[in-house]
Amino acid sequence: MELLADILKISIPALIVFLTAWVLLRNLMNNDQDKRRQELILQNSRTVTPIKLQAYERIVLLLERISLESLLVRVSNSDMTVPQLHTAMLNTIRSEFEHNLSQQIYMSQQAWEVVRNARSNMIRLINSEVEKMPPNSSGMALSKQLLEKVMELEKEPTRAAIDYLKGEISRMI
């Protein structure tokens, strides 16, 4: 019995010391892991945030380039017919969009959807105005018709998309 008491006198304090050391080491290791995880997240955000911002910049540039005024300035010629101008505008929109497709990786799904909708709405707007024009009309008449249509709209599709992207960027920063 005395032997059991001596063993307990030694074992209980040793067990208490062991458990205390185990709890302290476990907490220390967990804190270290959390700290490393936070450092990794911070390092990733330092790397990814500039890339994301660059992607948003490129998409805003895309939207500016396919806005009606910019598009007409770049592709229209005084001697173009409606079908020629129509084809040139649609080809420019498609090539600009395809050139920037990879930027969707860095954007939210909602932002990319807004960009796609803006492109589709621009194409739809152009197509609807072309259908109203006689095919032998001049490209200048189509340009005038398109600009008048845009003036009637509350907001051009590309402008609405740019405003959405600006809001998303301000929430991101």
Task: Report the distance separating Cα 149 and Cα 108, nearest Å.
Answer: 31
For the chain, what is the mean pLDDT?
A: 92
End-to-end distance of the chain based on CA atoms, in angstroms? 71
Q: Where are the domains of the chain?
A: 50-172
Percent of the chain whose pLDDT exceeds 90: 74
Q: Which pLDDT tens digit goes with each residue over 103-146?
A: 999 999 999 999 999 999 999 999 999 999 987 899 999 999 99
Write down the pLDDT at residue 173.
77
CB-based contacts of 150, cutoff 8 Å, min separation 6: 68, 69, 125, 156
Tokens of residue 138, six digits = 């001049």
> For residue 63, which amino acid is it?
L
pTM: 0.76
Residue 42 has pLDDT above 90, yes or no: no
Q: Does residue 43 or residue 96 have the better pLDDT?
A: 96
Q: Which of 40-44, 87-91, 140-144, 168-172 has the lowest mean pLDDT?
A: 40-44
